[in-house]
Structure 1
Amino acid sequence: MKLCIALDLPSKEENLKLAKEIGEYANDIWLKVGFRSYIRDGNEFIFKLKNLGYNIFLDLKLYDIPNTMADAAEEITKLGIDMFNIHASAGEKAMKEVMKRISKFEKRPLVLAVTALTSFSNDEFKKIYGNDIDIKAKEFAKTVFHSGLDGVVCSVWESKEIKNITSNNFITLTPGIRPFGEDAGDQKRVADIKAAKENKVNFIVVGRPVYQDKNPKQKVEKILKKLKEN
């Protein structure tokens, strides 16, 4: 299981400070760059993080018509990004078009599709997608798998079953991780490291529990140690 730290601080300077502070673990962790940081700080920020030795997950959740998504995926690949995501609800045609477009590159990033945002309650999700999260997430995951993507973004609670209906090699990345039972904040479907392990998660995303800690480096050390435990 890999640890991915979300860079969601209010400024580029604060995010870079955090990245440098935990830099000795650059080979062991990934960094997630989301909408706020990318829109504000752009490609230069990505290159600075890459120069520090990190693998980068660009969390933009692409959702548009197939050709536009494929265009964006191609540009992301040219940046040297290691992983990015799209929305599974964009549909099979869009997902296949994305994978077709980036397959021409000698080295392409991992591509994941979002099944259900972890901020959704089941009732909120059902109003939009017409079914319960656990049912629809599995339906999405099957489509993502057959469209040739590398995995999905889901909650811990869907991970194991998604692997059962796709493949053990199908990646699951789970946001909303509170490593040691920290406050859930605006996330509805959170979990700790123990639950993530039990559900065969490949990547856990941790944000606030690290960057709001008085000693982020020490917190990262503690999480990495926990991940190595049997």
Structure 2
Amino acid sequence: MHDPRIIVALDFPSAEDALLLVRKLNPDLCRLKVGKELFTAAGPQLIEKLTHQGFEVFLDLKFHDIPNTVASACKAAANLGVWMINVHALGGRKMLTAARDAIPQGSATKLIAVTLLTSMDQSDITDIGLQGSPEQIVLRLAQLTNDCGLDGVVCSALEAAQLRQHFGTEFCLVTPGIRPADGHVNDQKRITTPQQAILNGASYLVIGRPITQASDPLLMCQQLNSKILTAIAGLHLEIGKH
């Protein structure tokens, strides 16, 4: 079954800008991520347009509220027909379980949790009073997410190796902060290349500016995909040796 590993982050202020880019992409090569800015500006109508064009959508709204509210939001998102939605693991066990239970039986919508935002480093963690290193907190929150029956987590590619080892092959790892080897760092603290992310065990890679600001977004998508496929082949070769 066809399963594109790239999720293109549509970080645009309006539906027009997003759709302009999407026309240049191919749903066989990527999925799309709609976050808070674009969803607030364009709403569910945009999700409908994107799915109409054959794209699977990751609705990245990171729900974090009382269990009942989050459950209702997840249900509404699943009814939009999105491929994936996310919540904050810091919302706790009751909220995570309510979110999981709100997605109708047989729905194709995946539910994952955000552990720590990739922009956060040790000083941010100390500021908000969380105990432990980023790695320890991520593992603890991923364990909670897994215990509550969610499909996986958003994590930095640097954490993917440890999580993949810990949770096995079925647990879904979605990694933002991906830049091609020659890319710019921008505002992400913890970043890595597409090949390295796959080798670390990432399931899906969220890639924004390297694709959305490329002179030829489709070509960039194709090039990144071939690097990813090479990395996957290398991974299978490596597993075969053991």
**Taking structure 2 as the reference length, what is the TM-score of the superposition?**
0.90
| Structure 1 gap segments, 5+ residues each | none
1:20 paired with 2:47, answer: no
CA distance in 2, matches of 1:187, 1:90: 23
1:168 — aligned with what? 169
Residues 114 and 154 of structure 1 are in contact (CA less than 8 Å); yes or no, is this contact kept in structure 2? yes
2:86 — aligned with what? 85
2:99 — aligned with what? 98
2:63 — aligned with what? 62
Aligned runs of 1:168-187 on 2, under 5 Å?
168-187=169-188
| Structure 2 gap segments, 5+ residues each | 234-242
CA distance in 2, matches of 1:88, 1:220: 31
Q: CA deviation at 1:88?
A: 0.4
CA distance in 2, matches of 1:157, 1:30: 22
CA distance in 2, matches of 1:73, 1:215: 35
Show CA shifts across 1:99-145 (max 9, x none). Answer: 1121x343241001001101112221232223210000000000000
Which 10-residue stretch deviates more, 213-222 or 52-61? 213-222
**What is the root-mean-square deviation in Å for CA atoms of aligned residues?**
1.3
1:153 — aligned with what? 154
SS in 2 for 1:112: strand
Give 2:223's aligned amino acid. K
Q: Could you say if the C-alpha distance between residues 220 and 28 of structure 1 is closer, same or farther in structure 2, counting changes exceeding 3 Å? A: closer
Same amino acid, percent of matched pairs:
33
**Taking structure 1 as the reference length, what is the TM-score of the superposition?**
0.95
Q: CA deviation at 1:40?
A: 0.2
2:113 — aligned with what? 113
CA distance in 2, matches of 1:218, 1:180: 16
Give 1:66's aligned amino acid. P
Q: CA deviation at 1:184?
A: 1.0
SS in 2 for 1:169: coil
